[in-house]
Copies of this chain bind each other. A is one copy, B any other.
């Protein structure tokens, strides 16, 4: 069965290919009602489906949005382990589909990856998930397409950003612990990079401490990777450190899960022995025991907002010239933080 083209539709409906194109593109002011009807009928009958490659070639618009998951050292796993990605991906896909765009999913290593894929595919735009790296920006600024960064603090005129107030998040998390009487609060976090999300949350932690007059102790900082395994490792370290830690701020739920499980494995009670607060409120958090107290951000919502913004830009609807959006955050109290009793 050979491909049905616009030509076939033209022949079938007895008009020129130009007329067909007009009808198919809704340029109704250029054609008669009669033509419209005929073309529509023929297209329907023949099961005509436009070829996006051809369209992309001439219009230089692909209706494709790249979703790029940077491949970092900490994130080199075969599977997209962090459920954060699937939550956000769902949000992006939903909005893209609603607007007739498709999603091109691609993990890329540092280097030319981003640039190449965007050029090859004539991507209309891209959304980059977390894990900001200087390299990505440099290569991406050579591309003319709009790029929305999620959870990255990039200092670049060409880019858009969707994020949360990470400093504030770290701040309220820590404050919540302090309000419950804790002073020996460890922080377990991913690698603290300059201008990174983790750094902001860390600063929030320090700020809350300072404000409460609690001295910051470097020994209370556990910094590794944003994954379950590191949470476990950190939990072990804390137990064996001999430090009088009573509470832990995990800068990601997934780390909190690891920490809690390792603590439990040492026979510790949560929250009696250690109060713990996480960050993200992943969709799988509701399945976890004990119910995790955490700083909630609406992750799927974040994906939707990112896609909406990108599409608005693409369609020239970003009238307000938004370059940056910050989504709200709130603490959801469940069962892993309790009042410190001495």
Q: Which A residues have a C-beta under 8 Å from some C-beta of B?
A: 1, 3, 47, 49-54, 56-57, 60, 62, 64, 67, 77-81, 83, 85-87, 89-91, 93-94, 97, 102-107, 115-117, 119-122, 142, 144, 228, 254, 257-258, 261, 264, 283-284, 286-289, 299-300, 304
Contacts and interface: CB of A to CB of B under 8 A. Distances in A.
A120 B86 contact: no
A120 to B, nearest CB: 5
A1 B143 CA distance: 9
Copies in the assembly, this chain: 2
Nearest to A71: B97
Contact of A284 (B50, B64, B83): B83
B289 A264 contact: yes
Given A78-B94, A97-B106, A107-B93, A287 B228 contact: yes
16 contacts: A1-B142, A3-B60, A49-B120, A51-B57, A52-B53, A53-B56, A53-B62, A78-B300, A78-B304, A79-B300, A81-B283, A86-B86, A94-B107, A105-B105, A261-B287, A261-B289
B78 A115 contact: no
Name, among A119, A122, A142, A264, the residue most crowded by chain B CB atoms within 10 Å (CB to CB). Answer: A119
B300 A52 contact: no
A162 B1 CA distance: 27
A2 to B, nearest CB: 9
